[in-house]
Chain A
Amino acid sequence: MHRVVVAAALVVGLLSILVARFYNLQVTHYTDYVTRSDRNRVHVLPVPPTRGLIYDRNNVLLADNRPSYTLSIIKERARDIETTISVLRELVPISDADVEKFRKRLRQRRRPFEAVPLRYRLTEEEIARLAVNEYRLQGVEVEAQLVRHYPHGELFAHSIGYVGRINDRELAAFDEEEYGRYSGTHTIGKVGLEKQYENLLLGDVGNQNVETNARGRVLRVLERTDPIPGKNLQLFLDIYLQQVAFEALGERRGAVVAIEVQTGGVLALVSTPSYDPNLFVTGISFKDYRELNESLDLPLFNRSLQGQYPAASTVKPMLGLAALHHKVIDTDYKVRDPGYYQLKGDDRLYRDWKKRGHGRRVDLLQAIAESCDTFYYDVAYKMGIDVMSPFGRHFGLGSRTGIDVPNERRGIWPSREWKRRARGLPWFPGDSLNMGIGQGDVLVTPLQLAVMTQTLATRGQRSRPRLVQAVGNRPQEVQTVGKIDVNEEHWDYIYDAMEEVVHGRRGTAQRIRRGASYRMAGKTGTAQVVGIAQDEKYDSEKLAERQRDHALFIGFAPAEAPRIAVAVVVENAEHGSSAAAPIARKMFDAYLVPQEVGSGSPEDSYRPLRRSIGDVATANSELGRHEL
């Protein structure tokens, strides 16, 4: 009896301890545990903003975001990475390269619980197979992401560039705020406009409070702050001109830059060969990269703003203007050209490209039209470096143009000081002679040539070349860099000479005038790649293809009221007149002559593209181009 009572007391006593315990947990510490339970299930997830789109001037989409399904693993949640990968490999095709890249990403610095991608672009069927096996795949996620896509592939690789995965170095360089901004974003602009306008294109990250289960699977969204999408960019680039230039260059290595004369807007920026930027977006394979990187044609190299070439005769109109402006010569000044030029007290012969010379009385107009070197040796000698150097700088030579694409090169437009610094030598008169025909130390990028041409076409009003016309709906202002004051008569004279190049009887580019409904002004150039010894004759057949001369052409049209300025460089194509000038003509036509859809124009091959641009674009361009 007594023992039963003791037992009952024991039961009541121990149960009281339990009740006290529950009271302690559920009443005394209630708030603590509610907080804990909420922290368990509620997580803040970043919502990545949509990257801004990029359009050409006709509203043709050039950079797009497409949904893509990515298979990723969250290391912290996966039981064992190796088994998880081998299970996944049974379900969907995953190449060794994918696994290798995955491991590389896994080793990189990353946020805890960040999903590390293993395979991109899953098909519907693969997603279904993964979904069925979900229960076996702890820590595995199939994420729908918007992935950058460049519908026109290699056509804009050197202007728009591409985005790629944020790498270690970039991540390490982020400050606190950027770290937050990129919390939901895996890619960053690497090259081209994508890099230059990264800040605007990115947008602002949003976030959402989500309820997850113990395995981290999101079950529902409790609260959401929407991200702010990145700003769209509208470019000056015209897909049609871009395509004309691209196809005109064809298999050759070269660059074409076209600039809208009034605004400095870049209409075309082409460098060939090119590459498909889409390869880089989700991580390029080692093999593809090696192929691009090791190609002798350097497809990754942006010739339009990084290629540095001797300017050759393309600088002659500008130097002629310098000579007139500084009254070194007047328009009646004439030079006898025996086919070479000689400095007093110097044995060396400075040869003209025409072995027997251009005649006894060559004036500036003829010197430009026929590209007479002897005339320019003489004038350059008379002007000297102290006239040529600052005058060329007004036209943007030897300095960066300030285009809104990163990594342009500055070229070389020599000065006394430059020579002392770079070569440790004083300036010799012979240097001036070489500079007078754009050779020697002179190096220019195709973009600089285009800017120089645009400056010529505006009578000295140089503007900063730009690709972006409007950010969002806000048009960007035209930025003029400087104005050079030169007598109107001198301008007119130089224009006449440049027109003579194309339309004159003996103009070097006379072949391109056929069938043109407008007048053009231009200048050819042929840049030596290898030095030729005094007694040697240049023999193109003997030289290896890559040592042949580069063909150059600059020009603007219409000559009387210029609207487009073009610079063309074709590597190792020998003659500016035959290889480069016809490309410029095609650009002029494409910009100035309204293209009728299906009208049997010579550019039949562009028709499908023209149609795809859509009615609005066609209407726009026709409106614009009929003004002529």
Chain B
Amino acid sequence: MSSQDFLRRMPEASHALRKPVGIWQRLHIDLPLLVMLLVLTAYGLVVLYSASGENGHYIKRQSVFFVIAYFAMFITAQIKMQVLQRWAPWFYGGGVLLLVLVIFFGTGAKGAQRWLSVGGFRFQPSEVLKLAVPIAVAAYLARRLLPPGLKHVFVVLVLIGVPTVLIMRQPDLGTSLLIAASGLIVLFFAGLRWRYIGGAFAAVLMAAWPMWQFVLRDYQKQRILTLLSPEADKLGAGWNIIQSKTAIGSGGVDGKGWLQGTQSQLDFLPESHTDFIIAVLAEEFGLTGVLMLLALYILVIGRGLIIGLRAQDTFSRLLAGGITLTFFVYVFVNIGMVTGLLPVVGVPLPLVSHGGTSIVTLMTGFGMLMAISTERRRLTI
């Protein structure tokens, strides 16, 4: 089994040879990842400028977020993995506590209670859980014998389930599913047996009907129905999908040109600077621009997986894989939603959509990847 191979190769080697340490190494920066992220964020700003209707204000705000986010990444990159692993339970417990506080003191809008307000500063505790859950799962599993037995799988599912249910009740179905996914991805990287995975799929399929009947709220059902037939409600719920598909399709191969997208510039496209920003990109830069963006994402994801492969210990390996694949899930869910493949859930396009919290969370995650990546380099193999 490959996981056994992995265990066998687990380096006990504090005696390893030291290579001369470079400047990036010392700063705990993974240069290829940093370059990719910089290119990606720059590309994102170019698209955002057009998507926001040439609004300098958005660009300024977004740039400030990026500065904060890169700073957060840099700080996170300095954390030692052992420390993170030790702090994981507290991190996780604090996050869940915040979610409980939201139930009692939270604020929000449109029938959802998602925010905590502390001294005029508002934030979503669910963002914390986006990192806390994979860290907690990785920390728990790293100390067990892998692949995990049924008992440990059960504990992990509880770890994932508690915040997922709390967030689902806010209600914020999209975020809760993404958080569940981030935990399950770690479980997957820990070598969860295929028969468990197969069994889970079968269970989900069987649970689908009671979910639809008893759990999903009307607006959530509406989103799914809208996905299935957007034409049914042209001015209402289907509007977003119709307009985004029109924007993307009319972009063609070469696009209409920067700032020339009629769908986005004439306000037919809703949420053009946030969740639906890829439609702006697709309209103005065409298939070419889309492929460039996807290529950048694939490079980032590839680099993340490589960092995971070369990770120092089980915790780092699981965490790197979890962060990377979660990032991909965000990308896939967002683009799938905008192109009409998935229901509309409020997921921003990572590093491109306007919005501070998501960027800071993502870059903190990349900070961890950098920490993992540069920790490895102290040792030689």
Contacts and interface: CB of A to CB of B under 8 A. Distances in A.
Interface of A: 1-4, 7-8, 11-12, 14-15, 17-19, 21-23, 25-27, 29-30, 32-34, 36-38, 40-41, 211-215, 219
A549 B261 CA distance: 80
B246 A37 contact: yes
B3 interface: yes
A22 B282 contact: yes
B120 to A, nearest CB: 27
A458 B123 CA distance: 98
Contacts of B297: 15
Nearest to B249: A33
B139 interface: no
A34 B5 CA distance: 54
B287 A22 contact: yes
A273 to B, nearest CB: 54
A222 B177 CA distance: 47
B335 A18 contact: yes
Interface string B223-253: 0000000000000000000010111111111
Contact of A26 (B252, B321, B324, B341): B252
Given A3-B188, A26-B251, A21 B341 contact: yes
Interface stretch (B96-104, B164-172, B198-206, B300-308): B300-308
A7 B249 contact: no
Interface of B: 1-3, 5-6, 188-189, 191, 243, 245-253, 262-263, 266-268, 282, 286-287, 290-291, 294, 297-298, 301-302, 305, 308-309, 321, 324-325, 328, 332, 335-336, 339, 341
Among A2, A29, A33, A212, the most chain B Cβ lie within 10 Å of the Cβ of A33
B287 A26 contact: yes
A41 B262 contact: yes
A219 B53 CA distance: 14
Nearest to A37: B250
Contacts of B252: 26-27, 30, 34
Contacts of B3: 1-3
Contacts of B294: 15, 18-19
B309 A4 contact: yes
Nearest to A17: B341
Contacts of A7: 188-189, 305, 321, 324-325
Contacts of A1: 2-3, 5-6, 309
B321 A22 contact: no
A479 to B, nearest CB: 57
Nearest to B269: A214
Nearest to A36: B246
A40 B262 contact: yes
A40 B270 CA distance: 14
A11 B287 contact: no
- Lowest 10 CB-CB distances: which A-B pairs, in order? A33-B249, A2-B2, A37-B250, A213-B266, A214-B267, A25-B249, A33-B250, A1-B2, A214-B268, A26-B287
A3 B341 contact: no
Contacts of A34: 249-250, 252
Contacts of A26: 248-249, 251-253, 282, 286-287, 290
A20 to B, nearest CB: 10
Given A15-B298, A22-B248, A25-B249, A4 B305 contact: yes
Contacts of B282: 22, 25-26
A11 B266 contact: no
Contacts of B6: 1
Contacts of B188: 3, 7
Given A3-B321, A11-B301, A33 B341 contact: no
A21 to B, nearest CB: 5
Nearest to B302: A8
Given A7-B188, A19-B294, A41 B309 contact: no
B339 A21 contact: yes
A620 B116 CA distance: 87
A40 B332 contact: no
A33 B248 contact: yes
Given A4-B305, A214-B266, A22 B339 contact: yes
Contacts of B189: 3-4, 7
Contacts of B309: 1, 4
